[in-house]
Amino acid sequence: MIEVYVDGASAGNPGPSGAGVFIKADGNVIRASQPLGNLTNHEAEFEALIHALSICIDNEFQSISIRTDSQLVSSSVDNRYVKNRNYQPYLTHALALVDRFELCFIKWIPSSKNKVADELARKAIPLNTA
């Protein structure tokens, strides 16, 4: 099972944002930092998930276990529902990607267990162009 850690970060809410992805795959490691433009923190969290899912699809992974410190993202994917309509497009996109895997689990973890993805997300923030 491929372990996937995701995190989104924003310098302001909304503000310049970044996605961090850390993947442990069969002894290999993938690290990704992606600038996201101006988003809210929750939007950045969803975008980080979408970015991670895309990387996993590109690498033809079939079984993944995702860890996020965003309770909103974790519960939204688990329940396939989000109450706030502003996040519905993000959830719809993420679920379309999730459904392409043979197995895909998502689990909430505390921020203290998601430090690498958090560092990668924060590293992406200054990469946004003005």
Determine how many CB atoms are found less than 10 A away from the CB of residue 88: 13
Q: What is the predicted pLDDT for the residue at 26?
A: 86
Identity of residue 91? L
Reduced 3-state DSSP string for 42-104: HHHHHHHHHHHHHHHHHCCCCEEEEEECCHHHHHHHHHCCCCCHHHHHHHHHHHHHHCCCCEE
Residue 23 binned pLDDT confidence (cut-offs 50, 70, 90)? very high
34-93 residue pLDDT tens: 999 999 999 999 999 999 999 999 999 999 999 999 999 999 999 999 999 999 999 999
Q: Which domains does the chain have, with CATH numbers?
A: 2-127 (3.30.420.10)
Q: What is the predicted pLDDT for the residue at 70?
A: 98
Q: What is the C-alpha to C-alpha distance for residues 30 and 58, in angstroms, rounded to an integer?
A: 12
Q: What is the C-alpha to C-alpha distance for residues 85 and 101, in angstroms, rounded to an integer?
A: 26
Q: What is the mean pLDDT of the chain?
A: 97
Q: Is the pLDDT of residue 118 over 90?
A: yes
Q: What is the predicted pLDDT for the residue at 129?
A: 75
